[in-house]
Copies of this chain bind each other. A is one copy, B any other.
């Protein structure tokens, strides 16, 4: 477990806030399960982009857009335009960082 460190805690609190909304957590997990970490979201894969997520989760496109922005602001995902579509993927190393955050502490 990470030692008490108020500097980094704020950043992690932001990440947890991003993941605290069930819809955003679903989006994040779908992207994370897309394939190897960091793999871009592709149409010909299982992965979805804004419109697909909207349809599959039953949420307005504008709301998906908003959630993606939140995930991005928290540093969890990246996005990039490819033609009309927006490709999105889970940032490299993030899963490891989050996993490590909860690792049992070395006794001090």
Tell me the A residues contacting B by CB distance below 8 Å.
Answer: 1-4, 6, 9-10, 12-14, 16-17, 19-22, 25-26, 29-30, 32-33, 35-37, 95-96, 98-105, 107-108
Contact = CB atoms under 8 A, between A and B. Distances in A.
A9 B37 contact: no
A22 B30 CA distance: 27
A71 to B, nearest CB: 12
Contacts of A16: 16-17, 19-20, 25
Q: How many copies does the complex hold?
A: 2
Contacts of A29: 1-4, 9
B20 A20 contact: yes
Central interface residue in A6, A16, A21, A108, by most chain B CB within 10 Å: A16
For the complex of A and B, list the 5 residue pairs with the smallest distance between their C-beta atoms, beginning with the closest: A17-B20, A99-B102, A98-B102, A16-B19, A16-B20
A35 B104 contact: no
A103 to B, nearest CB: 6
